[in-house]
Structure formats: structure tokens, C-alpha cells
Amino acid sequence: AYYSVHVDFEDAGFGMDIFMVDSNAMDASDLNEDPEHNICGAAHNHAGATCASQGGPRDLGSCKQWFWDMWAKQQQWLPEQLDASKADWQVAVTHFPCGHQKSFWVGMHEAHGLDLLVTGHRHNQELWSPNRLGGLTCFVTGGGGGISSEATPNVHNKRDWYGEAQYGFYDLTVTKETLEITSINWDGYEIKTATVHPN
């Protein structure tokens, strides 16, 4: 599902529109393709699986198309919503990490005013430089990781790291003029920061 919510920070004098975008189509493949990551695959869904009662795909055979049709609808919906937004800040939140569907997200920033992209999927912390996405700041919130992090949190063994840490969280401080992002690792150290200005 996809939707938006408006938040007014009345005491601070600004507002934010948050757009929840479902990017799970990136993990929706043909029935026997990529069995360990395919949400529409036969490996981890029983033969009669259905999500129809919740408005989802009626069976595994229609699953991939259902997710990709929803992604296509969102590619129409999001620019319309961004263009109609009167909020000071426009933030999109989605599952698949920075870099997936890159041209789409760059377009949302350049042509429609998207200020920040918040993502997940990979189990590590990644605060991307805006120059990697046409000026759009993006971060991967997967640093919670738990037992399924991408690699060891050992700072002396970063061989399999994508970003700046394996475990941790992001702290956001938002005003009308700036959005400050701080990446904090598992033992409380501030390891990376970024400042975003409204687009």
C-alpha cells in the first residue's frame, strides 16, 4: 500500500508531507526466479497462497504483475502529490535502498521538489552524499540489523560494509530551514552527518 500523511509542527511554524511508497516490486519476480528473495516465488509460498482478501494478488501467478502494476500507479501518484504539496518539507519513505530506481527518484527531486528519501532493505547504515542522486539526500535505515546485519560491526573489518556502520540509528532534527541528519553507531558515536535544505 502507498499513502501520504501531513504533519504540522505548529510551534515551529512549518509542515511536512511524508509519502509512503511501496517499492516491493523490486523483489517480485517470476515464480521460480531468485527463490531466496522473491516475494512471489514458489520456494516460500504454498501453492494456494493468496492475498486477495487484503486487496493483494489473488495467487502466485498474478503476484509479480500485481506488484509491478502498483509500482506503475505510484510513479503517476507521487509526482502529482509532490506538485500539490504546500508543505515546507516533502519526504518519501520506501523499502528498497538508495540507488534502486535511481532515475525515478532523481526526477522526483529535480522536477517535483522531493527533499529527502528514507529507505531500508540492506541491514546497515548508509547516509548517501546528495551528488550520488542528482542532489537528493538519501539514507538507508537498516542499521538496526539485529542478527541479520550485512557484516560484522567491527570497525576494523569493513570489507562487506555498504555504508558507515552495521548497527545504529539516525537522529533527525528538523526546522523550517534545515533538516539535520546524524548517523549514530551501536556504541553511541556520531559517525556521519548531513544538512538538507528545502528543495
Q: Residue 94 CB: number of other CB atoms within 10 A?
A: 25
The pLDDT value recorded for residue 118 is 97
Residue 123 pLDDT more than 90? Answer: no
Q: How many Å separate Cα 54 from the centre of its chain?
A: 23
The pLDDT value recorded for residue 148 is 64
Of 144 and 5, which is predicted with more confidence?
5
The pTM of the whole model exceeds 0.75: yes
Predicted confidence (pLDDT) per residue in 168-192, tens digit: 889 999 999 999 999 998 888 899 9
Q: What is the mean pLDDT of residues 17-39?
A: 94
The pLDDT value recorded for residue 6 is 98
| Residue 163 DSSP one-character state | S
